[in-house]
Structure 1
């Protein structure tokens, strides 16, 4: 088991769901002493603030960065991907296209809205490919294989409206 130290807290790597940018302006009453740049969401739905930006945290701890969203995800987690369409009662200010879903340790469904198109997200999680700014694809299977050494066996990735895929890791 890989353990990551974040400030004074020790976190098992497999408990990290995602890492997103932390915006202190979103809660003006919160006045931290440190310059936190990332919010880490754990499987038990706790959050931990980190002084590293999501892209730095992802690189240091073998998480997969979704550049368009500046969100790093842990591909060891079983995710479901759905298309997102705003409703009359819920119209976000950003043009979200995708809802990334997972279950916490209590079995409760959790989700995160993303700008990344759903098909691109499926390709990135399942195939390990990443769209570059020039539109070319880079194959990260070697990086994915290296990261897979920490997790063995089969992992199931479910995609709403797309064929479910089983991916062999390790």
Structure 2
């Protein structure tokens, strides 16, 4: 398990659902001592602020970055993808196209709206999953070693 230390908090990277830019102007009463640049949303719905940018955090901890949204998602989490269309009662200022959904620890459904089109989100998530599955090649066995290459077996092979 990979753990990242943010301030005094230890956070398993496996519990990070997504990372998004942090905008200090969005909450003028909040006056932190540090210059936070990104906000981590954990599977238990806790929020952790970091001084790294979304891109820096994603690169360092191998999260998948949706460049158009400046949002990184954890490749290990099973996400569902839906198209998003504004309604009369919910019409955000940004032209969101996709709703990314996942389950939190309590089994509740969580979501994040993205500007990236659904087809791109799906293909990038599938590529990210495929990259996770690929394992590095094992080092080749030395001749005369191991189960299939024991010295005793070599004598019978001729």
Where does residue 81 of structure 2 map in the other structure?
Answer: 81
The 8 Å contact of residues 99 and 113 in structure 2, kept in 1 or not, is answered as: yes
Task: Report the Cα distance in structure 2 between the residues aligned to 1:88 and 1:53, rounded to whole angstroms.
Answer: 34
Q: CA deviation at 1:145?
A: 4.6
Where does residue 61 of structure 2 map in the other structure?
Answer: 61
Q: Which has the larger radius of gyration?
A: 2
State the Cα RMSD in Å.
Answer: 1.7
Task: Report the Cα distance in structure 1 between the residues aligned to 2:41 and 2:86, rounded to whole angstroms.
Answer: 24
The 8 Å contact of residues 37 and 49 in structure 2, kept in 1 or not, is answered as: yes
Task: Report the Cα distance in structure 2 between the residues aligned to 1:86 and 1:101, rounded to whole angstroms.
Answer: 17
In structure 1, runs of 5+ residues without a counterpart are 130-140, 150-170
The 8 Å contact of residues 75 and 128 in structure 2, kept in 1 or not, is answered as: no
Q: Across the two proteins, how many residue pairs are aligned to each other?
A: 136
In structure 2, runs of 5+ residues without a counterpart are 137-158
Q: Secondary structure at the match of 1:91?
A: coil
Instruction: Give runs of ≥4 in structure 1 deviating > 3 Å.
Output: 143-146
User: What whole-Å deviation, never above 9, does each CA across 1:82-110 have from its counterpart, x for those lacking one?
Assistant: 00000011110000000000111001101
Q: CA deviation at 1:128?
A: 3.4
Task: Report the Cα distance in structure 1 between the residues aligned to 2:71 and 2:127, rounded to whole angstroms.
Answer: 18
Where does residue 37 of structure 1 map in the other structure?
Answer: 37
Q: CA deviation at 1:7?
A: 1.7
Normalising by the residue count of structure 1, what TM-score does the alignment of the two structures yield?
0.76
Pairing 1:28–2:28 present:
yes
Bigger helix share = 2
Where does residue 12 of structure 1 map in the other structure?
Answer: 12
